[in-house]
Amino acid sequence: MASTRKTKRNVVLMYGEPDRFSPLLDGEPEAAAAPVTVKTKVWRWKQGAAWHFATVPKAQSAQIRSKVTGAKRGWGSVPLRIRVGETEWETSLFPEGKAGTYLFAIKASVRKAEGIEEGNTITAQVFLRT
């Protein structure tokens, strides 16, 4: 089981898991001050799969799209920080193609810390990097 710790930014880091998205580098901008609030339902990639996701509703996806500046990462992903309850982590939003929305993965450690299960409705604070 991976252990967690909180950095000075109160971001959960996972030990024993590879860093998929590196933390902010020197000279890279901080996250925007005002987060976008997202209320959404947690869903599983497919029956029995471990991956859990949340879809950002269309209105908030449009709001995020209008605020995104600079280069995007692979597959049009947008790097950011997300807070659910007391847990905050770095991840990316991924576009959902024709739907015009974004989605994000919810780590197992976050689900465990916050008591999140498939089908739960969560409220997330999305902090964009500007």
Domain ranges of the chain: 30-128
Contact assessment for residue 107 and residue 16, using Cβ atoms and an 8 Å cutoff? no
Six-digit token string for 87 = 């847990």
The Cβ of residue 63 has, within 10 Å, a number of other Cβ atoms equal to: 16
pLDDT at 44 over 80: yes
- E strand spans, the chain: 4-6, 12-14, 36-44, 52-56, 78-84, 87-95, 102-105, 121-128
Q: pLDDT (tens digit, 9 = 90+) per residue, 93-124? A: 999 888 889 999 999 999 999 999 999 999 99
Residue predicted with more confidence, 15 or 101: 101
Contact assessment for residue 31 and residue 127, using Cβ atoms and an 8 Å cutoff? yes
User: What percent of the chain shows pLDDT beyond 70?
Assistant: 68
The length of the chain is 130
Measured between alpha carbons, how far apart are the two ends of the chain, in Å?
Answer: 34
pTM, full prediction: 0.68
CATH 1.10.10.10 correct for 30-128: no
